[in-house]
Structure 1
Amino acid sequence: MFWNDTALFPINPCELGNVDVLKDDEEVYRGIIVTESRPGWEANKYTVYDYAWYLGKSKSVYQFNNLSASKAIERILKDFGMLIGSVPEMNTPIDEIYLEKSPAEIIDEILKKHERRSGKRYSEL
C-alpha cells in the first residue's frame, strides 16, 4: 500500500481491564473497562462497570457459622473491596456453606433467608 491513514490515528490509551476514573473537581465514578469497540471512523466505544460487576462474575466459597446476616454481607463486600456505607441490622443467623456461587448470589440468598424469617424486604443486587 503506497499511502494509508494509520499515522493519523492516535495510540489508544485504554486497554481492557484498565481502571477508568471520571473526575469533576472530585472523583465521580471509578470502573473497569470490560469491552471495547472500534467502529471504523467513529470514536472508540467502551463499556465500563463499577467494581460491583465483579460480585456477579466471580465464583466464591464462603462458610458462615451462626454469623448475623448483616455481618455476613459486610464480610463479602469487604473481601471484594466494596465501600460500605451501612448495612441494616439483620440478626438472622447464617449457618451455611456456599460453594462456587457468585457473591451476588450469596448476598441474594442471605437477604431472602432474612426476609422469610423477619418479614422485612430489602433491595436485591
Structure 2
Amino acid sequence: MVSANGGINQQRVAICNAVAVARLLNATLVIPSFMYSSVWRDTSQFGDIYQEDHFINYLKLDVRIVKELPKELKSLDLDAIGSVVSDADILKEAKPGFYKKHILHILHRNRVAHFVGFGNRLASDPIPFKVQM
C-alpha cells in the first residue's frame, strides 16, 4: 500500500517504485493513494488521473493489484502494528536487498506494509532489467 506525496512527477515515481517493489517481494499492490499537499492544493486521487482498470490489467502478468485492502486488513491499526513505513525509514535509492531484508519481514508478520511518501526510495541499479521494464 502506498500513499504518494509531492507533485504529479513525484507521485509517478512513487507508483513506479511501488510496482517494482511489489514485484520484487511477490506482494499484492493496492491502488496507490495521493497525499494532499498544501503546496499543490490538489485533492486528486489515482483514479482521477489514471485509468485504474487499465493499470491493473496492463500489469497483471507482473504484479497483482487490487483496488483496496481486504476487509480483515482495513480494520487494523497499521501504525500500532508496525506496518507504516515512512521515507525516514528507507534510505534514498535503497537497493532491492533492503526491501527483501526489512519490508518482507513486515509483510510476513502483518500481511500489509503502508509506504507513506515513497519518493525516490528505490535504486534503479541493481534492479533486474525485467523489473525495470
TM-score (norm 2): 0.21
Q: Which structure is higher in helix share? A: 2
Tell me the TM-score normalised to structure 1 length.
Answer: 0.22
**Higher strand proportion (structure 1 or 2):** 1
Rg (Cα) greater in structure: 1
